[in-house]
Amino acid sequence: MALTLVDTHCHLDYIARQEEHPLGEEGTDPAKVVARALETGVEFLVNPSVTPTRFNDVIGLAERFEHVYAGVAVHPTDVKDVQETPEWAAELEALLSHPKVVAVGETGLDYYWDVSLKDFQKACFKTHLALGVKHDLPVIVHDREAHEDVHQLIADTPGVRGIMHCFSGDSDFALKMIEHGFYISFAGNVTFKKAVELQEAAKVVPLEWLLIETDSPFLSPVPFRGKPNEPARVLHVAEKIAELRGITVEEVAAVTTENAKRVFGLQ
């Protein structure tokens, strides 16, 4: 049986620009990166944006490649980019009706890299959550060392739904977020040896709330840890989750693909 997978979160625009973790010659051409993903069984991938100057990049890639979709948002570590430009929200909102834009993302809170703009991060996150509700789109949430505040702001936004991307909490936190309509998406770090708490969470998330992603070019799964990542490697995340849950990789692939189509409205 051929596998069908979905990479619910990859930064193809970074890969195309050879940023952060360049893939070298292999990665220069996003067409090749996408082709390798499709060969592995990836049915579609979602490229979230991180700042307004990149909105056109992610939308351009989504227009160029049939199997690529986009998210638009300002990443919590990039909110400084919009501090002086309150019109960013209107600019973002105008893009939400684009046929290849399937999510508000990625947004959220990051208290690991930078806490200097904590309040502004929260304000921006709230704006994104409200746009998700207004346009009935899933919100892709980045949460780094900010579980409590992420939960609070989501709990304060009735009707919001979305994805906890690159999930980094424990089982209890996963189940709590599911109650608020958030899917739990696991990335390459679930394959890391010391990720015991995360692996525990990957065992208990109900299958119908489970998603997988690469967050490439970051977070390459074992056995590529430390190397640049790419969407094709979402297979290794699926394999690890299958191993943890004692089910087949085909089952993980099938159910996460169904879930991804449901959350992004691509049935």
88 vs 167, beta carbon nearer Zn ion: 167
7 vs 215, beta carbon nearer Zn ion: 215
SS3 2: coil
Q: How far is the CB of 105 from Zn ion (least distance, A)?
A: 8
What region, left, alpha or beta, does residue 24 occupy, with left being phi > 0 and alpha being psi -120 to 50 degrees? left
What is the Cα Rg of the chain in Å?
17
Task: Pull the structure tokens for residue 107.
Answer: 């947004």
- Distance (Å, whole) CA 38 – CA 45: 10
Q: How many residues bind Zn ion (CB under 5 A)?
A: 2
Q: How far is the CB of 20 from Zn ion (least distance, A)?
A: 11
Q: How far is the CB of 140 from Zn ion (least distance, A)?
A: 8
Output the residue with the shortest Cβ distance to Zn ion: 142
218 vs 224, beta carbon nearer Zn ion: 218
154 within 8 A of 183, measured Cβ to Cβ = no
7 vs 199, beta carbon nearer Zn ion: 7
112 vs 206, beta carbon nearer Zn ion: 112
Instruction: Provide the residue type at 71 as one letter.
Output: G
Instruction: Provide the residue type at 263 as one letter.
Output: V
Positions 130 through 159 that interact with Zn ion (CB under 5 A): 142
- Return the DSSP state at 162: E
- Distance (Å, whole) CA 129 – CA 125: 6
- Residue 247 phi/psi, 5° resolution? -125, 175
Q: How far is the CB of 201 from Zn ion (least distance, A)?
A: 17
CA-nearest of 258, 263, 267 to 4 is 258
Q: How far is the CB of 117 from Zn ion (least distance, A)?
A: 16
Which string of x and - marks every residue 69-108 that binds Zn ion (by CB under 5 A)? ----------------------------------------
Positions 37 through 66 that interact with Zn ion (CB under 5 A): none
CA-nearest of 45, 56, 38 to 12 is 45
Positions 199 through 238 that interact with Zn ion (CB under 5 A): 215
Q: How far is the CB of 110 from Zn ion (least distance, A)?
A: 8
Q: How far is the CB of 250 from Zn ion (least distance, A)?
A: 27
254 vs 256, beta carbon nearer Zn ion: 256
- Return the DSSP state at 77: G
215 vs 230, beta carbon nearer Zn ion: 215
21 is a contact residue toward Zn ion (CB under 5 A): no
232 within 8 A of 3, measured Cβ to Cβ = no
By the criterion CB under 5 A, which residues form the site for Zn ion?
142, 215
